[in-house]
A and B are shown apart, each in its own frame.
Chain A
Amino acid sequence: MAQRITIDPITRLEGHGKIEIFLNDEGDVSNTYFQIPELRGFERFCVGRPVEEMPLLTNRICGVCPEAHHMAAAKAADMVYHVDPPRTAKLLRELLYMAFYCTDHTTHFYALGGPDFVMGPDAPVAERNILGVIHKVGLEIGGKVIQMRKFGHDTVEIIGGRKVHPCTSIPGGLTKGITAEQRDHIEEMGKYAVEFAQFSLKLFTDIVLGNKQYVDLILGDVYNHKTYYMGLVDENNKINFYDGKVRVVDPEGKEFVKYAPQDYAEHIAEHVEPWTYLKFPYLKKVGWKGFVDGMDSGVYMATPLSRLNAADGMATPLAQEEYERFFGTLGGKPVHQRLAIHWARLVELLYAAERWLELVRDPEITSPHVHTIPTETPTEGVGIVEAPRGTLTHHYVTDERGLLTKVNLIVGTTNNYAPISMSINKAARSLIKKGSMVTEPMLNMVEMAFRAYDPCFGCATHSLPGQMPLQVTIHDAKGEIVDVLKR
């Protein structure tokens, strides 16, 4: 029968995120390693299955962004079957995706990234969470966040058939459209999303930009890296999350390459390090030069900030104003300061909300023509979307029956594995100096370096307690562990 036990938190850390900090004889940081667990065997799991299962299967890879995998998989499956979905199907998929973006970016800002700024990096740990934000900013803010999330979930459910894990995208389009009544409901929810995004940007302006200490923190050198930047753009080089070409700009902001999804393998390669199973993607034509900044290093970043850097602007008017204010305030393009990712995320939140309204108001959105029946023999396809955490690539090859023979994924966070590692290293070197005590606020400042990227390790739904704890281990010059900070 069931027994009653008490859980020791330390024992639950195995296999989760780890930061290892090595000190030298002088007590300065000599090196850092950021290790994250890799889920194994996905390709083997998929091979032999029908490709049309992939939009359902891949949205189980990750508990955080199933909608992104659903969309990338559906687009890859469209290409495998050489089928172009009807316009309304594309509009609806993108509309679902905008609702997901609003939910996801909201959650990151209010539950995770925001507390560092709203409460301050030095605030006691027990206050650096959404409850602290509510306590400081006011109870009504919690209600707004919950409402925004509810509207996001409801819209995903109407179009996607289920909350969180949509199931309606198939090769050639969607299994169902929406009614006029559903359209009206989604439009009302979209209006709220725009107001909420504007409110969030105002909050950021008042609390963060109005505080010189925070502005100095954002603009300072601790969180600054000059790398290449990646993001999906439309035909006008404006940001698009659902479709377009992948554009990469160099550390000076000039276009380095713009490629169609099916050409990704010509441009992206993966570097292997002995201390981690996860690979480090880099720009093939620049080459891997190690964990270093600059024009000669193939390290690139794919985040909200990267997308703003890689595009020429936003495709919606209010977001475009915020885009201009963003670069105007931070000294022009490209912006290299990693903590600015938080602000960029809110600019994107406003874009997603405005785009939500644009899409739902399209006269064809209630058309019943949401599926083109595939008639050609399936072969190979690549689907790329912008996941909230970076460019997401799905590549499938099938036999003539549509059964998978090869699967390759480059997921959002993987793009950023090298830059996250570099950010942690730089923050640790800047903050931990010889002989100084390693304090909790100091470690939080190191963690802020990786939190800005909103990294996703597919851990969010794994086992209790349903989140990813992190362990920081500090080693002395002999490699002996001198301090372990966890949870």
Chain B
Amino acid sequence: MRTIIIGLGNPILSDDGVGWRVVEALTPTVHRPPSTVVETASLGGLALMERLEGYQRAILVDSMETGQSPVGTVSLFPLNELPNAAESHSASAHDTSLLTALETGRRMGLTLPDEVMVVAIEARTVHDFSEELSPEVEAAVPTAMQAVLDLL
């Protein structure tokens, strides 16, 4: 089974870069192409779907703002538990949601992962330019790494 692990986000936008930090730390241990590939990306929607082509399984590591969990909380859930914004009232300002993009790709006959798991880290700051993470988010990096390893 070919697996892709993608750290998502913007590496120069404070806690938004946590996905990158987690997978960069994992790369030496788990990057074993072609069976397991580790990448970083600042993508969503169609472009992210296109990056998943050819894999049976995907793990996305990203920051998240729920406002409900303490900063640094690591959560794990299948992608399809995220509400699909493209099917509700106000769709994205750009592109479409990853779920809709995956559905589009499947109808086109692309080989796409049946299973997309998300490892998300509750963020504090995602609107300030910085290469530093908040202390709580920094402290959550090993937990998020372990969450990815447990999935493999």
Using CB atoms and an 8 Å cutoff, list the residues of chain A in contact with chain B.
Answer: 1-9, 11-12, 14-15, 17, 37-42, 44-45, 57, 60, 63-64, 66, 107-108, 111-112, 125-126, 128-131, 134, 139, 142-143, 146, 149-150, 153, 164-165, 440, 443-444, 447, 451, 454-457, 459-472, 485-487
Instruction: Tally inter-chain residue pairs, CB-CB below 8 A.
Output: 233
- B59-91: CB near A (< 8 Å → 1, else 0) gives 000111111110001111100011101111111
Q: Are A469 and B90 in contact (CB under 8 A)?
A: yes
Q: Known pairs A7-B81, A7-B82. 7 more at Cβ < 8 A?
A: A7-B77, A9-B83, A9-B88, A60-B42, A464-B120, A467-B91, A471-B90
CA distance A468 to B127 in the complex (A): 13
Q: How large is the interface on B (under 10, 10 to 19, 20 to 34, 35 or more residues)?
A: 35 or more
Q: Chain B's nearest CB lies how many Å from the CB of A84?
A: 30
Closest A residue to B86 by beta carbon equals: A129
Using CB atoms and an 8 Å cutoff, list the residues of chain B in contact with chain A.
Answer: 8-13, 16, 41-48, 50, 62-69, 73-77, 81-83, 85-98, 100-101, 103-105, 107-110, 118-120, 123, 126-130, 143-144, 146-147, 150
Q: Are B127 and A111 in contact (CB under 8 A)?
A: no
Q: Are A134 and B143 in contact (CB under 8 A)?
A: no
Q: Within the complex, which residue of B92, B107, B128, B129 is in contact with A467, where a contact is CB–CB below 8 Å? A: B92
For this complex, 30 residue pairs linking A to B, each with C-beta atoms less than 8 Å apart, are: A5-B69, A7-B82, A14-B67, A17-B90, A17-B93, A57-B12, A63-B43, A107-B46, A111-B94, A111-B95, A112-B94, A134-B107, A142-B108, A143-B108, A146-B50, A149-B50, A165-B42, A455-B93, A456-B94, A461-B9, A462-B16, A462-B127, A463-B123, A464-B120, A466-B8, A466-B44, A467-B93, A470-B93, A487-B89, A487-B90
Q: Chain A's nearest CB lies how many Å from the CB of B75?
A: 5
Residues in B whose Cβ lies below 8 Å from that of A57: 12
CA distance A3 to B64 in the complex (A): 14
Q: Within the complex, which residue of B74, B87, B89, B109 is in contact with A440, where a contact is CB–CB below 8 Å? A: B89
Q: Are B128 and A111 in contact (CB under 8 A)?
A: no
Residues in B whose Cβ lies below 8 Å from that of A111: 45-46, 94-96
Q: Chain A's nearest CB lies how many Å from the CB of B122?
A: 10
CA distance A444 to B108 in the complex (A): 28
Residues in B whose Cβ lies below 8 Å from that of A462: 9-10, 13, 16, 63, 126-127
Closest A residue to B64 by beta carbon equals: A464
Q: Chain A's nearest CB lies how many Å from the CB of B144?
A: 8
Q: Are B87 and A126 in contact (CB under 8 A)?
A: yes
Q: Are B16 and A461 in contact (CB under 8 A)?
A: yes
CA distance A57 to B75 in the complex (A): 30
Q: Are B82 and A460 in contact (CB under 8 A)?
A: no
Q: Within the complex, which residue of B44, B66, B91, B123 is in contact with A129, where a contact is CB–CB below 8 Å? A: B91
Closest A residue to B62 by beta carbon equals: A464
Closest A residue to B15 by beta carbon equals: A463
Residues in A whose Cβ lies below 8 Å from that of B87: 125-126, 129
Residues in B whose Cβ lies below 8 Å from that of A146: 46, 50, 104-105, 108, 110
Q: Are B107 and A459 in contact (CB under 8 A)?
A: no
Check A468/B94 contact, CB under 8 A, given A7-B83, A39-B127, A45-B129: yes
Residues in A whose Cβ lies below 8 Å from that of B44: 63, 460-461, 465-467
CA distance A72 to B137 in the complex (A): 33
Q: Within the complex, which residue of A11, A142, A451, A468 is in contact with B66, where a contact is CB–CB below 8 Å? A: A11
